[in-house]
Amino acid sequence: METLTDTQNQPDSRNLAIDRVGVKNLRFPLRIRDKANSEQGTVATISMAVDLPKHYKGTHMSRFVEVLNSHGPVLDVHTISGIPAELLERLDAQQAHVEFRFPFFLKKEAPVTKREGMLDYEVIFDVDASRERTDFTVTVLVPVTTLCPCSKAISARGAHNQRGIVTYAVKFSGEPIWIEDLIRLVERCASCELYSVLKRPDEKHVTEQAYDNPVFVEDLVRNVAAASNLQEGIAWYRVEAENFESIHNHNAYAVIEKIP
């Protein structure tokens, strides 16, 4: 076989290391473990990168995709955690980063009529690894309803509410917690959760439930943080809430982070 020039391994004279180099926006079909059905199919958008020492001209981009494909389409937190370690070896690197971003679906019953519908949530698996340690973060983006306590307190009729999004990132001290359980933890902390199918009795129920459970954006992040503090196995969390205000042209925002 003809010997081809390996340009990436040629020396570089600029004496500058690169923090991260790799591939982004790689779409890959995969099956994720879930609590109810063993696994579900989805499509992930993937980023993978490593550091590049100053003496190398470039990295070998094809090796990122080779490593990904070598693990097959069934992935969980344990499988994904192993990918950065393999990148470190294959690419002679000291630091590696992998991000899997994908939609995760839950079947939800309407609260009164029990009509079923599918609701999607965005999930991110994020892994940073060195030769000595691996740092794994799971993030769930959970849409919720919030109702303004101030509006309820000062209004003779009704109170304004809005849809918000909670970005909840966690690191585990032991076994990972199911994605479904992280989502439910967040939803219980809002004025009301969201559904994909609502008939009139359901709409009445969720409207009244939100009215009976008003929360500021500050309340929302505090509620999630307090529930996280009671949850065994969570070593670190970051709770970020953003309300898409219905009576303002700006959003309300709050964040709490627990330092391990």
| Residue 246 within a domain | yes
Query: Measured between alpha carbons, how far is 192 from 214 in angstroms, rounded to an integer?
Result: 9
Q: Has residue 209 got a pLDDT over 90?
A: yes
Summarize pLDDT for 50-72 with one digit per residue, the tens: 998 887 776 778 889 999 888 87
| Residue 136 within a domain | yes
Residues 199-220, mean pLDDT to the nearest whole number: 97
Summarize pLDDT for 98-144 with one digit per residue, the tens: 999 999 999 999 999 999 999 999 999 999 999 999 899 999 999 99
Query: Measured between alpha carbons, how far is 203 from 225 in angstroms, rounded to an integer?
Result: 29
Q: How many domains does the chain have?
A: 1
Closest CA to 238 of 259, 260, 257, 217: 257
Which residues form the domain of 228?
12-258
| Residue 5 within a domain | no
Spatial contact of 17 and 54, defined as CB atoms under 8 Å apart:
yes
Please report, as a single letter, which amino acid is at residue 13: S
DSSP H or E stretch at residue 220: helix 217-230
Please state, in angstroms and as integers, the Cα–Cα distance from residue 128 to each residue in 37, 81, 84, 86, following that order: 29, 9, 7, 12
Query: Measured between alpha carbons, how far is 28 from 24 in angstroms, rounded to an integer?
Result: 12
| Residue 3 within a domain | no
| Residue 153 within a domain | yes
Phi-psi region of 208 (alpha: psi -120 to 50; beta: other; left: phi over 0): alpha
Q: What is the DSSP letter of 71?
A: T
Query: Measured between alpha carbons, how far is 37 from 16 in angstroms, rounded to an integer?
Result: 49
Residues 153-172, mean pLDDT to the nearest whole number: 96
Number of Cβ within 10 Å of residue 219's Cβ equals: 18
Summarize pLDDT for 27-45 with one digit per residue, the tens: 998 888 888 777 888 999 9
What CATH number is attached to the domain comprising 83? 3.10.270.10
Spatial contact of 107 and 118, defined as CB atoms under 8 Å apart:
yes
Please state, in angstroms and as integers, the Cα–Cα distance from residue 250 to each residue in 150, 234, 240, 247, following that order: 17, 33, 16, 9
Mean pLDDT of the chain: 91
Give the pLDDT confidence score for residue 4 in this predicted structure: 59
| Residue 7 within a domain | no
Spatial contact of 86 and 117, defined as CB atoms under 8 Å apart:
no
SS3 8: helix
| Residue 23 within a domain | yes
| Residue 66 within a domain | yes
